[in-house]
């Protein structure tokens, strides 16, 4: 397998992937996740929330309907355009910023920052620490950081090298290889729809829960809770995902 470069994400999120992304999560699933985000954060009305990366805005849009002040940060032009168009259609006022998550500069004084949909790990270890540092800098003195990601304890339990699934009318095929020395998951993706075929490569940096706690600590944040799903099940080895909440300061 020829492995993805570190900047693989710059060209990944386009073409048939946009159809896959749209079909992978239903509106009801998104609403349920936002319900959990609201329950976890317990923010007052009109609180400022930073969503990074915000993708096509599905989380930011839903939070904006609940009277929070949203800023969405996204590097993909195609994704950000979809977010802007949907915000205009729904007459929602959201601040959209085009930049990648490792160059985060969205201002300060946010009550909370969120990073859902397993985007953490798209960069290198150095980049992810830079991201945590920037998130901490964007928060107010007791601001909260809530993120969802895969970790060793979730992704490597029952690891499979080859996967296939359908997202609407697109067949998604994954060929995966885990580098134990680097802690990186390399994946060859194939998207098939009728006579259309597109290929992509990705490289996901994985951490243990303990490593993430240390990285958050170096950024001046403290982990205060962890769950194994957006239903807030207890986190354990083999959980589908890690949902982690940290607070700036102690």
pLDDT in tens, the chain (250 residues): 667 677 888 888 888 988 888 777 778 888 999 999 999 999 999 999 999 999 999 999 999 999 999 999 999 898 899 999 999 999 999 999 999 999 999 999 999 999 998 889 888 899 999 999 999 999 999 999 999 999 999 988 889 999 999 988 999 999 999 999 999 999 999 999 999 999 999 999 999 999 999 999 999 999 999 999 999 999 999 999 999 999 998 6
Domain map (residue ranges) of the chain: 9-152+206-248, 155-203
Q: What is the pTM of this model?
A: 0.93
Three-state DSSP class for residue 195: coil
Location of structure tokens 């990601």: 149
Provide the strand spans (E) within 129-169: 139-149, 162-167
State the pLDDT at residue 12: 87
State the pLDDT at residue 1: 65
Structure tokens at 68: 């929070």
State the pLDDT at residue 23: 78
Q: Is the domain 9-152+206-248 a CATH 3.40.50.150 member?
A: yes
Which has the closest alpha carbon to 51: 92, 106, 6? 106
Matching fold, domains 9-152+206-248 and 155-203? no
Q: Residue 88, exposed/middle/buried by CB under 10 A (0-12, 13-18, 19+)? A: exposed
Neighbour-count burial for 107-116, b at 16+ CB within 10 Å, e otherwise: eeebbbbbbb
CATH of domain 155-203: 2.20.25
The Cβ-side half-sphere exposure at 8, using a 13 Å CA radius, reads 21
């Amino acid at each position: 397998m020829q492995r993805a470069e570190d900047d693989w994400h710059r060209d990944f999120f386009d073409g048939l992937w946009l159809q896959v992304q749209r079909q992978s999560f239903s509106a009801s699933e998104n609403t349920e996740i936002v319900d959990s985000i609201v329950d976890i954060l317990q923010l007052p009305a009109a609180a400022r929330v930073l969503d990074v990366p915000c993708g096509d805005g599905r989380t930011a849009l839903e939070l904006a309907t609940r009277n929070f002040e949203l800023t969405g940060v996204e590097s993909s032009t195609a994704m950000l355009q979809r977010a802007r168009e949907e915000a205009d259609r729904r007459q929602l006022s959201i601040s959209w910023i085009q930049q990648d998550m490792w160059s985060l500069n969205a201002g300060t004084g946010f009550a909370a920052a969120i990073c859902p949909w397993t985007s953490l790990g798209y960069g290198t270890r150095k980049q992810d620490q830079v991201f945590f540092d920037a998130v901490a800098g964007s928060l107010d003195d007791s601001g909260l950081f809530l993120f969802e990601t895969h970790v060793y304890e979730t992704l490597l339990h029952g690891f499979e090298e080859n996967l296939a699934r359908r997202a609407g009318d697109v067949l998604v095929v994954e060929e995966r290889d885990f580098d134990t020395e680097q802690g990186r998951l390399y994946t060859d993706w194939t998207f098939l729809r009728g006579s259309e075929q597109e290929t992509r490569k990705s490289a996901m940096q994985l951490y243990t829960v303990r490593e993430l706690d240390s990285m958050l600590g170096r950024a001046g944040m403290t982990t205060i809770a962890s769950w194994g799903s957006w239903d807030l099940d207890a986190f354990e080895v083999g959980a589908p995902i890690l949902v982690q909440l940290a607070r700036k300061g102690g």
